[in-house]
Amino acid sequence: MAKSKRKKRTKRARCGRSRIEGCMREPNGRISRARKSREPIDQLAIQMRMKHLELTYEEAKNPLSGSYIGRLYLLGGKDGLSQEQYDVAQQYLVVEDQSLPHLVGSLRIVLNALQKHFYTKRQNI
């Protein structure tokens, strides 16, 4: 009885379409329809850093070399930035990127005042 069950299992395992070998596959196992394999996007960024900034491959691979502040930090010592200076520069970039909606109202008030000031001057002339 054990032999017949084993034969049925192996027979079921062999059923179905055979897997096509020698082709590129997507991470999920499907056959890829792409003609060529793509280079990772990071490789392009690394190559551009190497070309434009004249860095070695290892230096260009470092994510800090992607920004001006990071490159200054990598120089270190006299020529570059210290850890504290780098942290402050990163905080500045974060603050600079944020939109400041609380200033919009006060800016609107100031612009209205300026418009009234210059508009009334033109009418008096």
Give the Cα-Cα-Cα angle 91, 94, 96 (nearest 5 degrees): 110
Q: Is there a contact between 92 and 81 (Cβ–Cβ < 8 Å)?
A: no
Q: What pLDDT is recorded for position 50?
A: 92
Q: Is 77 left (phi over 0), alpha (psi -120 to 50) or beta?
A: left
Mean pLDDT estimate for the chain = 80
Give the separation between CA 74 and CA 68, rounded to whole angstroms. Answer: 10
**Sequence ranges of the domains in the chain:** 39-93
Q: In Å, what is the CA distance from 12 to each residue of 2, 3, 4, 15?
A: 16, 14, 12, 5
Please state the pTM of the whole predicted model: 0.47
Q: What pLDDT is recorded for position 69?
A: 87
Q: What pLDDT is recorded for position 108?
A: 72
Handedness of CA 91, 92, 98, 99 (dihedral sign): positive
Q: In Å, what is the CA distance from 69 to each residue of 29, 60, 85, 102?
A: 41, 14, 9, 29
Q: What pLDDT is recorded for position 81?
A: 85
Token duo for residue 75: 């120089």
Q: What is the pLDDT of residues 68-82, one digit of tens each?
A: 888 888 888 777 888
Amino acid, single-letter form, for residue 43: Q
Instruction: Tell me the pLDDT band of 36, cut-offs 50, 70 and 90.
Output: confident
